[in-house]
Amino acid sequence: MKVLAIESSCDETATAVVEDGRVVLSSVIASQVEEHKLYGGVVPEIASRRHAEAISKITAQALLDAGCTMDDIDAIAVTAAPGLIGALLVGVNFAKGLALKYDKPLVPVHHLRSHIASNYLTSLDLEPPFLALVVSGGHTHLVEVKSYTDYNIIGCTRDDAAGECMDKSARTLGLPYPGGLNLDREAKDGNPQAYKMPHPHVEGAPYDFSFSGLKTFVINTVHNCEQKGETVDVADMGASVINAVVTCLVENTEKAAKEFGYKKIVLAGGVSANSVLRARMDDCCKRNGFELFMPELKLCGDNAAMVGAQGYYEFMAGRRASLDLNARATMPINEEF
């Protein structure tokens, strides 16, 4: 079964053709990173306009690369939530147009479910149930994946997501967009113990996350040094921030795995590309006898192949959308369209 997938939740316009939820026949991404660098972050209006300009062309390219026509496509999957509402609407409306014109089933897909599904493309033997840590610029979740379409949230962030903390810290330290990626690069030679960071936790909620205090610590430290005419060692501060964030992520995941009896741990989301997180999670799983699954680096960021993977399982579970499907800026991972 071939699924044509469309992703436009933020600043990457992406299309792909995926077969049986596991095989990527094509994957095309039109990136806007260079343009958004001018502003130090994603500008939603610009992102929406660029999606509208690129989506038709890259869809045609994805079909061409896969050696397919629309006649070969069995279903159309599209990211419908969560994300930037204007950006999402471009993809959703384009997908609805294709579904109407070619009389194809339309399958709405949750963005975070797609990130988890990126692991199905990397590890062909991976099957639920497992425990997933989903970490991105806007989300930090610990999720029980009971089946391909059944999820239970164990913990989530109460304020800033892990990726947002890293991005804002990078910006405060003068690093260019994308902040998290450049912070990871800059911190490789830094001392993770150079700065004594606050240890975030949520009272009474052992699996929830809170990263706003870390971000505030970086901002205040940098401003205080500037007022005194001192300088902050960017590599050391970057390494200290990443160490604090990763420690919280790994500790909560380890506690949850032991509490709920999971031996399979899945890492997903844009921050799953972070080198420190990958190494520390690997160490944690080896120490506890857990099996760790991580997406290929090229599948960590937003892409349509992961949408096609999850779209296949949503289709097989009978999930369909009518042509009145609307995008949603926010939506829990365990909620259905």
The mean pLDDT of 241-254, rounded to a whole number, is 97
Give the model confidence (pLDDT) of 297-332 as tens digits: 999 999 999 999 999 999 999 999 999 999 999 999
CA pair distance 231, 105, nearest whole angstrom: 58
Tokens representing 182 are 């450049």
Q: Which of 201, 197, 192, 334 lies closest to 255 in space, CA to CA? A: 201
Q: Which of 73, 71, 75, 78 lies closest to 14 in space, CA to CA? A: 78
**Does 2-116+299-316 match 129-295 in CATH topology?**
yes
Q: Which of 167, 178, 172 lies closest to 234 in space, CA to CA? A: 172
pLDDT band at 39 (very low <50, low <70, confident <90, very high): very high
Alpha helices (runs of H) in the chain, residue ranges in sequence order = 33-37, 44-65, 85-102, 111-122, 162-172, 179-186, 212-228, 234-260, 275-288, 305-316
CA pair distance 289, 283, nearest whole angstrom: 10
Helix (H) or strand (E) holding 23: strand 23-31
What is the SS3 assignment for 97?
A: helix
pLDDT band at 200 (very low <50, low <70, confident <90, very high): confident
Tell me the HSE value of 111 on the side-chain side, using a 13 A CA sphere.
35
The mean pLDDT of 274-290, rounded to a whole number, is 98
Please determine, for residue 201, whether its predicted confidence score (pLDDT) is greater than 80.
no
How is domain 2-116+299-316 classified at the architecture level of CATH? Answer: 2-Layer Sandwich (3.30)
- Compute the mean pLDDT over every residue in the chain, rounded to the nearest whole number: 96
pLDDT of residue 202: 84
Going from N- to C-terminal start, the domains of the chain cover 2-116+299-316, 129-295
| Residue 69, number of CB atoms within 10 A of its CB | 10
Length of the chain measured in residues? 337
Please determine, for residue 3, whether its predicted confidence score (pLDDT) is greater than 90.
yes
Burial of 101 (0-12, 13-18, 19+ CB in 10 A): exposed
Tokens representing 96 are 């609805």
Helix (H) or strand (E) holding 131: strand 130-135
pLDDT of residue 22: 98
Is 320 within 8 Å of 74 (Cβ atoms)?
Answer: no
CA pair distance 306, 320, nearest whole angstrom: 18
What is the SS3 assignment for 269?
A: coil
What CATH number belongs to 129-295? 3.30.420.40
List phi, psi (to 5°) of 129.
-90, 155
b (16+ CB within 10 A) / e for 42-52: bbeebbbebbb
Give the model confidence (pLDDT) of 85-130 as tens digits: 999 999 999 999 999 999 999 999 999 999 999 999 999 999 999 9
List phi, psi (to 5°) of 163.
-65, -40
The residues, any chain, with a CB within 8 Å of residue 263's CB and separated by 6 or more, are 257, 289, 290, 291
Give the model confidence (pLDDT) of 203-220 as tens digits: 889 999 999 999 999 999
Tokens 């844009």 belong to which residue? Answer: 270
Distances (CA, A) of 221 to 161, 163, 196, 226: 20, 20, 11, 9
